[in-house]
Amino acid sequence: MEKKDNEVFLILDDLCNQNCIFCLRPKNKTKKLTTKEAKNKIKFLSINHSILWLTGGEPTMRKDFIDLVSFSKKCNFRVALQTNAVKLSDQKYVKELKKCGLDIILVSLHSNYEEVSDYLTQVPGSFKKTMKGIENSIKCGIETRISIVINSKNFKHLYKIAEFVHRNFPSIRYFAVCLTIPEGNAWKNKWIIPKISEIEPFLYKFLNFCEKNKIQVGLRGIPLCYLRGFEKCSFEFYNIEVSENTEIKGIKYIKGPQCKFCLAKKKCAGVFKNYAEIFGTYELYPIYDTYT
């Protein structure tokens, strides 16, 4: 069977060395894969996919993680890791990952301020370790990207985060940005979820900075009426199957009644369904002018 040039995500377990206030995947909610089960899934996924994202939890906490990366490489995957990079503060460990074939690292970084970052992860000292992990990954020649979860503690300094990363790690050319998904810890801590209408001016400042500096951005959870001029940054833009109630990668979306008049309705998923349960859909507004 011909292999497709696309990505697939494999959740290994829910083990983590942080306890982020907004985490959508709390502990004891994910089936913990044995090494054998993980390898069987990796082998099966290699039939139709070429990029494998190993995620959790925090995959680097597994004793068999080096082995799983090596096995994934033998299955002809381009291997990627979603991580908080705390374990990567150990340069020797990063060198092992590079040697066994790790290609990409997506590091969770939710603030450029140490006190805010440590507050969000609920682990004092984690910010410094994450910074060292990013530095080590870049030095070892692993493609490094940054993941940001937009929340009530960081949305006002999104631009500052981008500026900080660009100044300290200029080789990083990609931000994966997601609005807090109202599940898991975030559902318990609803105050951590900001309203999209509050985010808007800060998000545009961030996007303009990234565009100016030729940094690619992938956005999730922001409807197209709040992304004018940056619609193609939207994750949903490329993954939506047109319907009133959309589900993408296990997350449900919903639109407001006003959305039926929008010229972008065939390309927009709306908002997370659980977001609408908290804030409603009144913030959404139809796009009436020219849209392509």
Mean pLDDT of 88-96: 97
* pLDDT-based confidence at residue 12 (cuts at 50, 70, 90): very high
**pLDDT of 11 higher than 70:** yes
Nearest to 177 by CA among 156, 206, 152: 206
According to the model, what pLDDT value does residue 28 have? 63
Is domain 7-220 classified as CATH 3.40.718.10?
A: no
DSSP secondary structure letters along 224-282: GGG-TT-GGGBHHHHH----SS-EETTEEEE--GGGGG-TTTTT---EEHHHHHHH-ST
Lowest mean pLDDT among 19-28, 80-89, 110-119, 121-130: 19-28
CA distances from 62 to 13, 15, 16 (A): 9, 8, 10
According to the model, what pLDDT value does residue 289 have? 82
**pLDDT of 87 higher than 70:** yes
- Report which residue type is found at 149: V
Task: Give per-residue pLDDT as tens, 222-274.
Answer: 999 999 999 999 999 888 776 667 888 889 999 999 999 999 988 899 999 99
Distance CA 3, CA 47 (A): 6
What is the rounded (10 degree) CA torsion for 229, 235, 236, 238?
Answer: 90
Please tell me whether residue 82 adopts helix, strand or coil conformation.
strand
Mean pLDDT of 90-99: 97
According to the model, what pLDDT value does residue 29 have? 65
Mean pLDDT of 197-223: 97
According to the model, what pLDDT value does residue 246 have? 86
Mean pLDDT of 21-38: 84
According to the model, what pLDDT value does residue 25 have? 77
Using an 8 Å Cβ cutoff, are 114 and 157 in contact? no
Domain map (residue ranges) of the chain: 7-220, 241-292
Radius of gyration of the chain (CA): 19
CA distances from 241 to 187, 231, 269 (A): 26, 16, 9
According to the model, what pLDDT value does residue 24 have? 87
Distance CA 28, CA 36 (A): 20
Task: Give per-residue pLDDT as tens, 148-204.
Answer: 999 999 999 999 999 999 999 999 999 999 999 999 999 999 999 999 999 999 999
- Report which residue type is found at 54: L
**pLDDT of 1 higher than 60:** no
**pLDDT of 2 higher than 50:** no
Mean pLDDT of 69-94: 97
Structure tokens at 197: 């209408």
Using an 8 Å Cβ cutoff, are 12 and 42 in contact? no
According to the model, what pLDDT value does residue 9 have? 94
